[in-house]
Amino acid sequence: MSLEEEYRDHPEQVHWEGRFIIAKTRGRWEYVSRTRNIKAAVILAIEDGHVLLVEQFRVPLGRPCIELPAGLIGDEAGAENEDASAAAARELEEETGYRPGRIESLGEFHSSPGMVTEAFTLFRAHDLEKVSEGGGVEGEGITVHRVALTEIERFLAAKRAEGYAIDVRMLLLLSPGILG
C-alpha cells in the first residue's frame, strides 16, 4: 500500500491539543499542525545592501537561533482574519523596529512537510524606515542584527561557531537567485 493510499484510508486522529499546536496521526504517520490553521509570515528585509535578522532563544532547540523576522498571522483573539501582509509589516516593526513602505508576497512555503503542516508566506519588505529599536513584544527577548549581504556567510559561520542555531531560511541569503 502506498503512503497516499494509507493517507486516504485512515482518518486523522488528534492526540493532544495546546494553544498553538496539535499532535496528530493518520495511519502510521505522526505530525503536528497549528491550531485554527494559523499560518506564519516570514519577512526578507534588505536595505542598502544589509539584511535584517533576528536572534531569539528557542526553547525546543535550547539555544538562540538566527532567523529572518517572522510571526504568526491572526494568532491574537479578535484578529483571526488578519491580512497576511499587514501581519508581516506588524511583525517586522515589532521585531526589528523597521516599518516597510511596501510589502510584497513571494509565495507560500512549507518548512518541514514531513512532520509539520505549517505553512508560511515569504514577504519581501521594501522602503524601510527605522521607527524604533525593535526587540519584539514583552518576553520575546529579540536581538536585531543588520548584516551586510557581503558578510552573511562569515556572520552565520561565526554565530554557528558560538553555538547558535541557524534557521533553514538563511539559505535564501546564500542563494543569489532570490536576491535578484
Positions annotated as catalytic residues are: 138
Task: Answer left, alpha or beta for residue 146, where phi above 0 means left and psi between -120 and 50 means alpha.
Answer: beta
Report strand pairing: 143-148 vs 50-58: antiparallel
C-alpha cell, 101: 513602505
**Amino acid letter at 13?**
Q
- Give the pairing type, strands 39-47 and 119-130: parallel
Determine the Cα–Cα distance for residues 52 and 40; give it in Å rounded to an integer. Answer: 18
